[in-house]
């Protein structure tokens, strides 16, 4: 009996994850504000009624889809550097992982959609503001740890540097998604590192990230 209940719960959780993925695909295609229930259902290969069974309020599904997409830019990045002791490697890995993998990167395209809607949607604005602040805190921890160990000599307050690093990620990430002819992910990493070198007083050799 218990085994059957557990299997049913897992199946329901899987279906909700599938719907979140479908909602993300639909938002990328139709826009964060323009997406409709039937479009999400089509992306999921389900009826509208089946979507509503799991998410009676479609707005809740859209918010969960955005939150799931944003995990990549905080939770997953923190996890990626959790076992790295060297602040130089931590900083380089963090910069790399904050950029799109290419112009077709669905996760970053969704964030761009979210950013476009944030001025008209207070919930989306709050999600983006929270993500920005958490990323700033993530960078601050790396910078302050490096400074405390004498590895970095910070040219400005750690919060100022951290905010600029996140802003550069956002700006170059958008350029990559917009298919700028001279900015690809590797070029963007180098451009952000140029600022980081000035801000930390460290050469930040990319070889420090080897094997990451």
Q: Are 97 and 75 in contact (CB under 8 A)?
A: no
Residue 10 has pLDDT above 90, yes or no: no
| Max CA distance (Å), the chain | 63
- Residue 104 to residue 179: CA distance in whole angstroms: 9
DSSP-assigned states of every residue in 127-189: HHHHHHHHHHHHHHHHHHHHHHTTS---SS-HHHHHHHHHHHHHHHHHHHHTT-TT--HHHHH
- Higher model confidence: residue 91 or residue 14? 91
For residues 185-200, average pLDDT: 97
Q: Are 40 and 26 in contact (CB under 8 A)?
A: yes
Which range, 4-13, 25-34, 64-73, 136-145, has the best average confidence (pLDDT)? Answer: 136-145
Residue-level pLDDT at 8? 43
Residue 11 has pLDDT above 90, yes or no: no
List pLDDT tens digits, range 56-99: 988 888 888 888 778 889 999 999 999 999 999 999 999 999 99
Instruction: Please calculate the CA angle 16-22-28 and round it to the nearest 5 degrees.
Output: 140
- Residue 75 to residue 73: CA distance in whole angstroms: 7
List pLDDT tens digits, range 120-165: 878 888 888 999 999 999 999 999 999 999 999 999 999 999 999 9
Instruction: Please calculate the CA angle 57-63-69 and round it to the nearest 5 degrees.
Output: 140
List pLDDT tens digits, range 36-55: 899 999 999 989 999 999 99
Residue 169 has pLDDT above 90, yes or no: yes
Residue-level pLDDT at 110? 82
Residue-level pLDDT at 82? 94
Residue-level pLDDT at 210? 52
Residue-level pLDDT at 117? 79
Phi-psi region of 123 (alpha: psi -120 to 50; beta: other; left: phi over 0): alpha
Burial of 185 (0-12, 13-18, 19+ CB in 10 A): middle
Residue-level pLDDT at 208? 60
Mean of the per-residue pLDDT values of the chain: 88
Q: Which two tokens stand for residue 140?
A: 């601050």
pTM (global) more than 0.75:
yes
Residue-level pLDDT at 201? 98
- Residue 27 to residue 167: CA distance in whole angstroms: 24
Contacts of residue 80, defined as CB under 8 A and 6 or more positions apart, other chains included, come to 93, 94, 97
């Amino acid at each position: 009996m218990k085994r059957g209940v557990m299997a049913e719960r897992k199946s329901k959780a899987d279906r909700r994850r599938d719907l979140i993925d479908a909602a993300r695909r639909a938002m990328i295609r139709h826009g964060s504000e323009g997406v409709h229930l039937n479009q999400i259902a089509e992306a999921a290969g389900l009826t509208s009624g089946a979507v509503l069974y799991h998410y009676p309020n479609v707005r809740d599904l859209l918010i969960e889809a955005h939150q799931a997409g944003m995990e990549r830019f905080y939770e997953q990045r923190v996890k990626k550097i959790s076992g790295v002791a060297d602040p130089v490697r931590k900083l380089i890995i963090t910069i790399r992982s904050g950029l799109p993998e290419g112009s077709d990167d669905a996760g970053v395209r969704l964030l761009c959609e979210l950013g476009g809607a944030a001025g008209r949607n207070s919930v989306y604005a709050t999600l983006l503001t929270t993500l920005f602040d958490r990323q700033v805190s993530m960078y601050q921890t790396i910078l302050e740890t490096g400074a405390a160990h004498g590895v970095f000599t910070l040219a400005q307050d750690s919060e100022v540097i951290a905010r600029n690093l996140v802003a550069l990620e956002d700006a170059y990430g958008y350029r990559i998604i917009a298919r700028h002819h001279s900015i690809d992910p590797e070029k963007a990493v180098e451009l952000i590192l140029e600022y980081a070198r000035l801000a930390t007083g460290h050469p930040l050799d990319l070889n420090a990230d080897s094997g990451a």
